[in-house]
Amino acid sequence: MIYFSVALPGRLADWCDTAIAWLAAQDGRTVERLTFADAVDGKVSILDEIALALVRSNADHVVVGIRRLNAGLMDTLRETGVPFVLGLADPRAAVADIAGGEGGTFLHITREMANMAPLMMRTMRMPGGLAIRPADTVTRGANTLARIARHLGISLDEVQAHAIAARLDPDADRNWEARIPPQMHKLVNGALGGYAAHFSGGELGDLVWQRDLFLAGDDDARSPSGPIALRDTANGRFLVYGPYLALPPGYWSAKVVMGISPEAVGQTFTVDAFSGRHLAVTKILARAEGIFTAEIGFEVDEEAARNIEIRVSIGRDVAPGYLAFGHVRLHPVAIRHEDSVIAVEGDFRAVLSL
Amino acid sequence: MLYFIVGLPGCFGRWCAHATAAMVRKTRPCEVVMADTAAQLTRQLLRTGGGETVVLASHPGGRLHAALVQSNRNFVVTVDDPRYVLAELVLEGREFRDALRLVASACAVIPRYAASPRALVLGAGRHEAVAAAGMMASHFACPCDGDSLGAIVAGLPGPAGEDNRARAWWTMLDPARRTIAQDALGAYLGAADKPQPLTWGREMFLANDCPLSGPVDITGRARVLFEGPEVTLPEGAWRLSLETEISRAATEQEFELELFAGRRLASRTVRPERSGPMRAHLDVVVDDSVDYPLSLRLSTRRAAFDGTVTLVRATAHPR
């Protein structure tokens, strides 16, 4: 048998993989564990590697740990209807775990998790998935094992469940803040806190894309941490653009917080959302120096759900003054769930006598 | 547990697969799946649950071959007359081009698998059915006695399929198609020690997903004009040549010739010097890294106002 464990990298992922492997090995069968740390590119590579490992191995069962999901593999899981375990860790804790394990900059890891989280959200709605949360491993370990065994079609009695639970290291101590430098908290929490709320059972919260995730429109492609000279907008360049992150499909409102110097009063700024095509655009006249907010609303469909940009530009080629870029707060107005569309379709058809 | 049957995609290969599955089913549930690439195999195993599985592969890719050899796993290789397997597939309703490329691809990989010390090579018509089943049972270490094997064989259609119909089909085959088939399969019909040249006619290529029949009008945006034959080549170094006829209006064009096998392996820009015959070639080494059948693709590199390109043939010569 092939058992899938899908989870962001970290302790919950290890718990899920180990639990499944020990459950599958109960009857004396041999189990091989395969962990795919990288999404690779597209579905072909992971599918190839699973089969090649199965051919090389003589194990009766294979536990496939997927740490970085990709759309292609999701399609395969959906098409085949194979049951799998979905570890829903706090993505902020995943950032801390990756930084402490695989390494990498917090900015890079945060970007990666921010792109992964919308895929995890889609995976949560797939019928084959069994969601496991960190709390499930701490206080109800044996019950959780029983749920996993039932979902994967593995027989398990209560004594065995308690014995395995006692050997597993629960995913406790999820204090991500203690494991991430304080100066990174705003960045990590802003990009991922909204998803953390959803993964723990609540609604998707607001997301805040801090300026470190964006690029200033000069030749150095640096983040807009300091003042940006408006004259830099010459030749059609954007003052600020980025962060090329994914969002769950649905309707979003974005508040772009900026500040301007006195010389820039009277300038008109253009703020738009872009993902291969314009999603929304607004113009705003800066009537006074200081902080102001531009708000745009836009729809993200499946096609535009990746590489989303929020961009700021100015109408004139060479304008005086400076812009300071703050952040973008994104509020999910209505998130599109493929399954819910299917569920209500019948009602609409009945009302419209179709 | 996986049990591999590699061979031509005809009745005999299927018989071997189903006989093996029946032997395994004496003790455990078992499924038969068809897969030629590792990704196809994973998808099939996910659909079936991944328990005991007989994998029937007609032209498994290079990486699957490498994994199979590394695993020290026993497997069965079935050999048959490719002309009659082609006939079987067409008589079963498969389109001629599709059947021919499947058979040609299988012919290309079988020698590599048959040469493995873990291979049990079974020839169609060479063994009595119960004896063949017994050899497979022994090779796969399936505990089956003579009575069980007799019952298994009795419960399956004959291993030779409708042999006479296949022979009749081949004999009556339209001469043009027979030439196409002989060009694509001829190298595999003899007992040559080294790879022989292969030729693929126009019918083995597609333009806009339809079989190529005559001149291709290049008028319009830059685009793929035609591609094919989507056939696996035997392991080794090859030179693939494309012979075309270029109309006068097309001589000002630049063309791109590419070679694909799941990914792009080689390409070159072709500039015809005059109207008439144009020949271009690409070199490739087929080894365990090549997982998919090969296709040549000819494209225009920019928009054209007039002109035609006619494919004459494509050939593969061992280097």
What whole-number distance in Å separates Cα of residue A208 and Cα of residue A222?
A: 19
Q: In this predicted complex, what is the ipTM?
A: 0.81
pLDDT digits over A167-181, tens only?
888 776 668 899 999
B200 and B281 Cβ atoms separated by less than 8 Å = no
Helix B175-189 × helix B82-91 angle, to 10°: 140
With bands split at pLDDT 50, 70 and 90, how would you rate the model's confidence at A42? Answer: very low
- Residue B255 three-state SS: strand
Q: Is A43 on the interface with B (CB under 8 A)?
A: yes
- Mean pLDDT of residues grouped by 10 in chain B (319 residues)? 92 94 92 91 88 92 87 92 93 94 94 92 87 94 86 83 80 91 88 79 91 92 95 93 94 93 92 92 90 93 92 94
Q: Is A59 on the interface with B (CB under 8 A)?
A: no
User: Tokens in use for A166?
Assistant: 């006692």
What whole-number distance in Å separates Cα of residue A149 and Cα of residue A141?
A: 12
Among A50, A56, A60, the residue with its CB nearest the CB of B42 is A50
Q: What is the pLDDT of residue A341?
A: 45
A99 and A181 Cβ atoms separated by less than 8 Å = no
Q: What is the pLDDT of residue A28?
A: 84
Q: Within 13 Å, how many C-alpha atoms sit on residue B310's CB side?
A: 12
Q: What is the 3-state secondary structure (H, E, C) of A254-287?
A: EEEEEEECHHHCCCEEEEEEECCCEEEEEEEECC
Task: Give the distance from residue B247's alpha carbon to the nearest chain A alpha carbon, in angstroms.
Answer: 40
Among B39, B45, B291, the residue with its CB nearest the CB of A54 is B45
With bands split at pLDDT 50, 70 and 90, how would you rate the model's confidence at A102? Answer: confident
pLDDT digits over B266-307, tens only?
999 999 989 999 999 999 999 888 888 999 999 999 998 999
- Going across the sheet that includes B206-207, the strands are B210-211, B206-207, B224-231, B294-300, B255-260, B264-270
Q: pTM here? A: 0.77
Beta carbons within 8 Å of A126's beta carbon, 6+ residues apart? A74, A77, A78
Beta carbons within 8 Å of A124's beta carbon, 6+ residues apart? A86, A88, A131, A199
Q: Which of A252, A243, A245 has its CA nearest to residue A330?
A: A252
> Do you find a cis peptide bond into A243, omega within 30 degrees of 0?
yes
Helix A43-56 × helix B38-48 angle, to 10°: 80
B294 and B259 Cβ atoms separated by less than 8 Å = yes
Q: Is A291 on the interface with B (CB under 8 A)?
A: no
pLDDT digits over A189-232, tens only?
999 999 999 999 999 999 999 999 998 876 556 788 888 888 76
A278-285 and B30-34 beta bridge pairing: unpaired
User: Tokens in use for B54?
Assistant: 């007989």
Q: Mean pLDDT of all residues in chain A?
A: 86
Give the chain B residue whose CA is nearest to the CA of A2.
B50
Helix A71-80 × helix A106-124 angle, to 10°: 20
- Residue A28 three-state SS: coil
